[in-house]
Structure 1
Amino acid sequence: MNPRRSSLQWRFGSAVAGLLLLMLILTLALWFRQTHDERETVEIARQSTHALLLQQLRDSGQAQVRQLADALTNPLYYFDLEDVGDQARDALRSPGVAYVLVYDPEGRILHDGSGDIPAYGRPMRDALAGKVVAAKAMLVQQTGAMLDVSSPIFVGDERLGGVRIGYSMDAAAQSEEQTLLGLRERLSSVNRISLLWLLAMCAGLGVVCILGAVALQRMLVGPIQALADAAREIEQGNFTAPIPATRRDDELGDLTRAFGHMRDSVARHDRDMRRAAYSDALTGLANRLAFRTALDQRLRELHGTGGQLALLFCDLDDFKSINDTLGHEAGDDVLVQTASRIEQAVNTIGAVGALVARLGGDEFVILLEPTPGEAMDEIATRLAEALVQNLASPLLLHGRRLVLGTSVGVAIFPDDAVNASQLMKCGDIAMYQAKFAGKNCYRFYSRSVDEDAMRRLRLEQDLRGAWDRGELSVVYQPIYRTHDRALMGAEALLRWAHPVEGAISPDVFVPVAEQSGLIDEIGERVLRTACTEAADWPRLADGSRPFVSVNVSGRQLRNVGLFAQVVEALQLSQLPADRLHLEVTETAVIRDVAHAADLLSRLRNLGVRVWLDDFGTGYSSLNHLRRVQVDGLKIDRSFIVDLLDDAGDLALTSATMAMAHSLGIIVVAEGVEQRGQYDLLRERQGDYVQGFWLSEPLAAADFTRLLG
């Protein structure tokens, strides 16, 4: 053999062997790259699928718990365990639900969806129970393979308890595994075929191997990498990332098409979730999140341009009475009609581009953009007037006509505020100023309004705990019998000695307590204190025992627990019921005559006397006196102050006393500050009088000494 020839053959063989070895090395390198891409694709798909399934489970769980909490409000309020059990069992039968617990405010189990309720009355002692009982809003917790969703249940400010639903995550994990199994099998199948194809090409010529490798890269690795890139985009929330178009009829084509279908399905779910997240389920308007997003975007667009926006806050007047008297279903109907009327008002003034949203409850807000040729405040004024007019028209609700009205607050950007939070705060403050101005009107934000609101806020904060700090006290204004000026009892009055501002008038802090809900706690303490101190008062000269009268606010009168509070105060103090007189205003009574009549009738049957306070300043309707039985009327001081100079006031006062006496009702005149006023009332045969001319309000010890 010729060495040179042998050398060429060796070189050729070596070249071929080297080429094959190189192709083998390249093939192995390409294979390992494909395997890595497969694992990465599966892992990305796993993470995306897990996150989506977990989010869907959380969202569906929150929606189910919210719906169940709403459905349980009335059954818990009336302690209807049968209805509670039906609702709990229905929820327990839902797919993936492991347990359902309905609990009371102390965390004791009321129902678990079982027939005999073996856990009834037991406190929840699991690791999540503490946070569940303490939560004031919906709470989602996860432990192991269980997702716990809970929500407290309120009626107004009263907490009735709550509901918990546990969701097993095994079903979600199984669904996730099934989804990934198909993807893994498809990728494995493609890679097996690819490996056989690559090994076959390695046996051919180097050029064929190179061309085959290039073709493999274009036919397999590229599409898989494109799918991996698309998966990453989907994971980041970008559902518009392109997916390679293919007409292939093999596994890779199936995988590409399946991935595209999965992307479209996830995109639809995402759109549905965003639609649900950004719209109000009841009215169909934008919700708080959507409104805040739009407001932030518009303010960014207007920043530095000198443009303006108007923000209008709308809050229905006395909406709570609808829910309390007619039920939440009627309240929802009112909100739907209100949303429609607000949109009509916006369309009426031609506000192009205005955004109407419901922030929650009975609060609505409108974002108003400027109209060419018209000032922003003029547009806002026209819309505010249209809103007040439209919403003041009677609502037709189940055959009944209701008149609510609305309070509207207006804030202008950038005149009143330069960012979204400040603008919404200013609109809210202006709306509350409209309520303070008498409701059913509108007000523009002003700095003085803000200062008043801040002062009211400070008063509310200082009022919390004022009783425990010893700042609040009860004094007693003596009440005398008119014909002989004999002391008969006293009216309990609340006084606040503020450590910084000194004595604050009840006309200032009582409305704050009413609006904030603090009047419930303060009123109950005043009632207990008055009963306890009156129980120790000595007998009068004629041997009788003096009475004490206690004012009951409109909010207390609507409180279902008032009767129980009166009974408890009488029992603890041992004060006879006939020595306690409760004073209620006519305005508070007419808000719900049926409820007031029933409650006051029960109190009178208990022996408590009921007086109608501030008579003459409200409707002064004989019909109310017929429907709501009372023992006495208190003529308002506004009639007594001009009794000597105004013949009309004298005539009205005389007529009121004659009318009351004809009905067997005693008459008390308050605000007597002159001897002449007292003499006229005695001539007109008034029953009782009180006022500074007779005596100023006295501390408990001073009044006891006055009784002698």
Structure 2
Amino acid sequence: MKLRLGLQARFLVMMALALLVVVLLITLLLNRQERMQLEVEGVSREAMRTMVRDGMRRQGEGTVRQLAESLANPLYYFDLDAIGVIGRTALRNPSVRYVTVYDDSGNIVHDGSEEIPSYGKRMDDKLATEVIAARDVHIQWNGAVMDVSAPIMIGRQRIGGVRIGYDMKAARQFQETAVGSLRTRLDALGQRHVVWIGLLGVGLLVFGGVVLWLIQRFLVQPIRQLAEAARAIEAGRFDTVTPAGTRNDEVGDLMRAFERMSRSLARHDRDIRRMAYTDALTGLANRLAFRETLDQRLLERGTGRQLALLFADIDDFKRVNDTLGHDAGDEVLLQFTKRIQAAIKRLGGEDVLLARFGGDEFVILVQGGGKDGDVRKNASLLAETLVSDLGEPILVHDRQVFLGTSIGITLFPEDASSATSLMKNGDIAMYQAKVAGKNCYRFYSRAMDQAVERRVHLEHELRGAWERGELSLVYQPVFCLVDDAMIGAEALLRWQHPERGLVAPSVFIDVAEQSGLIETLGPQVLHAACEDAVRWQQLRPQGEPLFVAVNVSPRQLRSGDLPQVVAASLRETGLSADLLHLELTETAVIGDEAQASNLLTRLRGMGVKVWLDDFGTGFSGLSHLRRVPVDGVKIDRSFIADVLRDPDDLALTTAIIAMAHSLGITVVAEGVEREGQYAILRERGCDLAQGYWLGHPLPAAEFLALLR
């Protein structure tokens, strides 16, 4: 007969072993405590010293780099007032002892003071030789001073430098104060440990006796009864938790009974409910559960409470799946869920329900009533918070992803009285938020129904417009400013609607972009433009070949197959790759700089030229030209329009031309509508130009006639 060791006996053995281990640990802990305190103090002192030096080094490097960038233009134009302002700002830092701006020969230009007593003098201190010779950020230590310097560059040319001296005395005082505080706290902590260890030992003895009595009275006998109850649960009464395991004692009987119960419970209830009412990825309520809750809330409308539905859709979520994969997309959805839940916890009020309808769409049900019954105000505040919180960057697979959220809000009973109508209205309002520019929220209004209907109708008519011959290309000539010769043309898409007449490109291009039709129209436009360009060359067998410039939408760039589409068009039409110029906007490139840089490198490797359109209106600036491979930039027409009467636009245009040329990039001016604009652009060294003064956009046949 196999010996059965009961719970009480097992617990006595475990308690004895535990007490023995605790006594040994307490002895070792008391012996090691004092030595550990000394070691911690020594390690902390060394770590503090290293941390302070590294922190000051990083601070100095960051500050001097920022000052060097800020001082580039003032030093280049020798603007002593601007240099003085920047220098005095840096001197306000209590740890900064001096700030010196010097020219490329090492002569002092400014020291941050009002009088500049050292102006024009050559730096002759012990550290000056290395500072003048340095071509990058340079750090030197001289007793109680850390000297940090950096060259000031215009393009690749060094025009001078800036140096900052940091006082190390305050850092050392901070280090000694911190170590002394640490020593005091370690002593106090050691004393508390001794007291708590003694209390712990006493507590363990008392706890062991109490638990032993409790096990005998409240566990061993009830376990035998619970084993029988578990068999009843197996028959279908699901009202307890689910343990698992195999043991040869009373608890083992209970575990085996509950294991059988668990299988039956999971088979008949839990899994079915989870699949039916929750979202598998996020664990939120799904569409079915949300609809049932909404119906129930509407039935309770006699309580006088208002309801608000917030439909939140992630902007450009498809780009994450297309570029980073569906695993990254799932991670984004989980992080969005956490942020939404946090915002709801802070602002949502009572009885708020969050659900995921699938894909990248979330719905929030907010209930008003009580003292603060303004559900519209509460919904607005929650929507503003969500737009702000969800607009923060998300780290996915070691990459920062920037996504916005469009939110549509509909109210009960103002907008509708049924669940179906409310959900439809929420979708319409969310769509209007996307049309308004995304990353915002909009309340539903009845006028939206008509706007959505018009936009949907326009989208329907746009489908097949190319095949029906309603869409066509026109070409605007591009001229070289050196010899006034036409060297190419930009292809522009026009829609001649049979009833509406000529539809503005800003209208139908936006519809095509939002609906995804641009991914079909883009390759068709590219192929047609390449065919026309081949005909141009046939008319000019002895002349200089003309290039054709084709605009590419951000959606085409994000799809990732643009190089294959371009290669197919060149292969099928026979156009030389160097005669095709692709134009992209700044915002399309900086949306995902790594992806764009990879695609543009592949296109340029084929021989295709890449131009950056509407340059100066986005957020990239010239700094991005060093990281994104492009062959040319097109100065936006807003700068060209005022170049004759606005000195700032003229200066900015001149600077863009000079700096682009320093990077080997061609500069194109668009929107040239006056002879004076053309003359001043030629004077400032602009390479190419286009505009109504040079030539209006012409249909393909008229452009061929022009070439003849």
Question: TM-score, normalized by length of structure 2?
Answer: 0.60
Match of 1:349 in 2: 347
Say whether residues 1:557 and 2:557 are aligned partners: yes
Distance in 2 (CA, whole Å) between partners of 1:381 and 1:558 is: 32
Measure how far apart 1:682 and its partner are: 1.4
Say whether residues 1:524 and 2:512 are aligned partners: no
Say whether residues 1:413 and 2:450 are aligned partners: no
> Residues 369-408 of structure 1 correspond to what in structure 2 (within 5 A)?
369-374=367-372, 375-398=374-397, 400-408=399-407
Measure how far apart 1:270 and its partner are: 4.1
Measure how far apart 1:416 and its partner are: 1.4
Distance in 2 (CA, whole Å) between partners of 1:598 and 1:239 is: 57
Match of 2:436 in 1: 437
Distance in 2 (CA, whole Å) between partners of 1:318 and 1:645 is: 40
> Residues 58-69 of structure 1 correspond to what in structure 2 (within 5 A)?
none
Match of 1:566 in 2: 566
Match of 1:498 in 2: 497
> Residues 282-321 of structure 1 correspond to what in structure 2 (within 5 A)?
282-302=281-301, 307-321=305-319
Distance in 2 (CA, whole Å) between partners of 1:544 and 1:400 is: 46
Measure how far apart 1:574 and its partner are: 1.1
Measure how far apart 1:300 and its partner are: 3.5
SS at match of 2:545: coil
Deviations 1:659-678 (A, max 9, x none): 11112211111111122211
SS at match of 1:485: coil
Say whether residues 1:453 and 2:455 are aligned partners: no
Distance in 2 (CA, whole Å) between partners of 1:438 and 1:603 is: 30
SS at match of 2:698: coil
> Residues 110-129 of structure 1 correspond to what in structure 2 (within 5 A)?
none
- Kindly, what percent of the aligned residue pairs are identical? 61
> 1:351, 1:371 within 8 Å by CA — same for their partners in 2?
no
> Residues 131-210 of structure 1 correspond to what in structure 2 (within 5 A)?
none
Distance in 1 (CA, whole Å) between partners of 2:559 and 2:400 is: 25
Distance in 2 (CA, whole Å) between partners of 1:369 and 1:272 is: 30
Match of 1:365 in 2: 363
SS at match of 1:643: coil
One-letter amino acid of the counterpart of residue 370, structure 1: G
Distance in 1 (CA, whole Å) between partners of 2:497 and 2:543 is: 39
One-letter amino acid of the counterpart of residue 552, structure 1: V
One-letter amino acid of the counterpart of residue 515, structure 1: Q
Residues 706, 414 of structure 1: alpha-carbon distance in 2 compared, 3 angstrom cutoff: same
Distance in 1 (CA, whole Å) between partners of 2:404 and 2:507 is: 25
Measure how far apart 1:458 and its partner are: 1.3
One-letter amino acid of the counterpart of residue 659, structure 2: M
Match of 2:595 in 1: 595
Deviations 1:383-440 (A, max 9, x none): 2123223323443445555443322211101211222222112212222322333333
> 1:312, 1:367 within 8 Å by CA — same for their partners in 2?
yes
Question: TM-score, normalized by length of structure 1?
Answer: 0.60
Distance in 1 (CA, whole Å) between partners of 2:569 and 2:426 is: 43
Distance in 2 (CA, whole Å) between partners of 1:482 and 1:534 is: 22
Distance in 2 (CA, whole Å) between partners of 1:655 and 1:585 is: 20
Residues 323, 282 of structure 1: alpha-carbon distance in 2 compared, 3 angstrom cutoff: same
Measure how far apart 1:524 and its partner are: 0.4
Match of 1:637 in 2: 637
Match of 1:42 in 2: none
| Structure 1: unaligned runs, 5 residues or longer | 1-233, 241-260
> 1:667, 1:687 within 8 Å by CA — same for their partners in 2?
yes
Measure how far apart 1:632 and its partner are: 1.0
SS at match of 2:309: strand
Measure how far apart 1:560 and its partner are: 2.7
Measure how far apart 1:545 and its partner are: 1.2
Measure how far apart 1:561 and its partner are: 2.2
Measure how far apart 1:522 and its partner are: 0.3
Count of aligned residue pairs for this structure pair: 452
Match of 2:421 in 1: 422
Deviations 1:522-568 (A, max 9, x none): 01000110101110114559721111111111111122322121111
| Structure 2: unaligned runs, 5 residues or longer | 1-234, 240-259
Distance in 1 (CA, whole Å) between partners of 2:395 and 2:607 is: 41
Distance in 2 (CA, whole Å) between partners of 1:396 and 1:557 is: 22
One-letter amino acid of the counterpart of residue 551, structure 1: N
Residues 527, 278 of structure 1: alpha-carbon distance in 2 compared, 3 angstrom cutoff: same
Match of 1:43 in 2: none
> 1:492, 1:549 within 8 Å by CA — same for their partners in 2?
yes
One-letter amino acid of the counterpart of residue 333, structure 2: L
Q: RMSD value over aligned CA atoms?
A: 2.6
Match of 2:210 in 1: none
> 2:384, 2:441 within 8 Å by CA — same for their partners in 1?
yes
Match of 1:697 in 2: 697
> 2:306, 2:369 within 8 Å by CA — same for their partners in 1?
no
Measure how far apart 1:268 and its partner are: 5.5
Distance in 2 (CA, whole Å) between partners of 1:644 and 1:699 is: 31
One-letter amino acid of the counterpart of residue 335, structure 1: L
Distance in 1 (CA, whole Å) between partners of 2:584 and 2:399 is: 27
Say whether residues 1:618 and 2:618 are aligned partners: yes
SS at match of 1:484: coil
SS at match of 2:657: helix
